[in-house]
Amino acid sequence: MFAQSEIHYSIKKQEKPTDPLLITALCIDNRTYDLSDVISVENLQGYDSIFLLNSTAFIGQIDPSRETLAFNDVKKRTITKLFRDKISEIIQREIPSIKERKDKTEASLNKTYPHLIGYFDNDEIGVIDRAKSIEIAQSRFIRDQKVILEATTLDGEKYDKALELSSRSLAEYVLYREKIIDKLENITNKDSETDIHNLILPKETILTDNTDLSSIYYNNLWLLDEKYMTYTTAMSDKSIKEIIEEITQENFVTKDTTSPDIAIIFSDNPKDDKNEDTKVDVVIVELKKKGVKLAKTEEVISQLRQRARKLMKYYPNKIQRIWFYGIVEFNDDFKLSLKDEKYTPLYSKDYLYYKENEIYLNVNDTIPYQIGTYILSIDAFIEDAKVRNATFLQILKDGFQKIKNDVPF
């Protein structure tokens, strides 16, 4: 189509940087037709530029008013793409700094949007604006998803593509988790306990395994451990009464109105009426904000004991295992307190302690129950999650980079 075509151009460096002049136009029947959205003016700062594309293929391709092209949308997109590619070659040749700027933009896009690596058109990066590059890559990604999701069967090629797209969707989710961790890292003494609480699981929330999958974007139980994402029920700031009734599926009479910060019930489904022997695992989490006094920090251990005493009455008939977590700010006084209580330090990016605590359910009991209790610092809570998440993301990034290098876009 472009056997007899040529581009006329002028690129002039401005003596004093001002808003750059940029013209991209087609020459049709000895008249110009402005073709916008070919390249971005932001990439030509400091230069005045004119690009005119002339071709015998354009003869008669404009209406009598000379305002509307006779091309259909497909042909217009093809012309725009070819025009853009040629302009990219010209400006990289004529403006050496463009290549460096292009490489920086590409590295930035791949870092910020690793799930779109391979969907960015290298010829367009640094020519069209950054937002447009992201929009186009995202559209290509969604297009491929649509093809796979609407396929009735998956041959070998489509199966491989389905695995790749699944990995990209996972990377998008891992990027979301990175933002949550960044937000947690900015928590200070001025923030309330509720601020931390809501980042893990918003207060007054009840989630079940039947909850829509989109709930993964407003519960962040993975911050504790990835395995806690497989809950049957997750409850935030709900009373002991509500938690026990969820576990036993029976009415529970109590004057206790206290509420653990977070309770997670998982493993077998307690609502399975066909099996009366179904048992569950339970996780109880208590939080304390940064900057509270030692007595308030130590209170978390007492609270966990109280929760244990209420729940262990249902062991082993309804509850088979329980984990208790206290998340607090550490200082030397609190570390000394844990040492006095014979807590054992465990590996972590900050401070994490564990102990098998003994509790008696009743005054007359002679044999105590053993309950496992983890006490970790807020920084350990954040940093350990950060390391796990970064590992996932790097594995996915490496995979996408291999796809990009082995199979040209």
| pLDDT 10s digits, 239-266 | 999 999 998 888 888 877 889 999 999 8
Quick check: 374 and 326 in contact, CB under 8 A?
Answer: yes
What average pLDDT does the structure give for the chain? 87
Give whole-number Cα distances, 172 to 217, 220, 227, 300, 401, in Å.
Answer: 11, 15, 20, 35, 15
| H-helix or E-strand spanning residue 134 | helix 130-149
User: What is d(CA 407, CA 211) in angstroms, rounded to the nearest whole number?
Assistant: 38
Report how far apart the first and last C-alpha atoms of the chain are (Å, whole number): 23
Q: How far is 22 from 36, CA to CA, in rounded Å?
A: 10
Pairing of strands 47-55, 22-28: parallel
In one-letter notation, the amino acid at residue 276 is E
More confident call, 370 vs 409: 370
For 1-59, what is each residue's pLDDT tens digit? 556 889 999 999 988 878 889 999 998 888 888 888 888 888 788 889 999 999 888 88
What pLDDT is attached to residue 19? 85
Question: Could you tell me the two tokens for 316?
Answer: 């082993």
pLDDT at 409: 37
Q: Could you tell me if residue 224 is left (phi over 0), alpha (psi between -120 and 50 degrees) or otherwise beta?
A: alpha
C-alpha 250/C-alpha 322 separation (Å) is 19
From residue 287, give the alpha-carbon distance in Å to each of 31, 56, 72, 185: 72, 73, 62, 16
pLDDT band at 66 (very low <50, low <70, confident <90, very high): low
How many angstroms separate the CA atoms of 255 and 247, rounded?
18
pLDDT score at 276: 63
**What are φ and ψ of residue 299, in 5° steps?**
-60, -25
User: Measured over all CA atoms, what is the biggest interatomic distance in the chain, rounded to whole angstroms?
Assistant: 103
The pLDDT > 90 percentage for the chain reads 39
Give the number of other CB atoms < 10 A from CB of residue 341: 14
CA–CA separation, 348 vs 379, rounded Å?
Answer: 10
In this structure, are residues 179 and 220 in contact, taking their beta carbons and an 8 Å threshold? no
Q: Write down the pLDDT at residue 156.
A: 82
Asked whether the CA dihedral 57, 58, 59, 64 is positive or negative, the reply is: positive
| 213 has pLDDT over 80 | no
pLDDT in tens, 319-358: 988 999 999 999 999 999 999 999 999 999 999 999 999 9
pLDDT of residue 196: 92
The answer to whether the pTM exceeds 0.75 is no
The distance of Cα 210 from the centroid of its chain, to the nearest Å, equals 22
Which pLDDT belongs to residue 408? 42
**Number of helices (H), then strands (E), in the chain:** 9, 12
Q: Confidence class of residue 275 from pLDDT cuts 50, 70 and 90?
A: low
Task: Give 35-40 contacts, CB < 8 A, sequence gap 24+.
Answer: 35/79, 35/80, 35/83, 37/80, 37/128, 38/80, 38/83, 38/84, 38/87, 39/84, 39/87, 39/88, 39/91, 39/127, 39/128, 40/127, 40/128, 40/129, 40/132
Q: What is the pLDDT of residue 406?
A: 62
Q: Are 374 and 324 in contact (CB under 8 A)?
A: yes
Q: Which of 61-65, 131-135, 157-161, 287-291 has the lowest mean pLDDT?
A: 61-65
Residues in the chain: 409
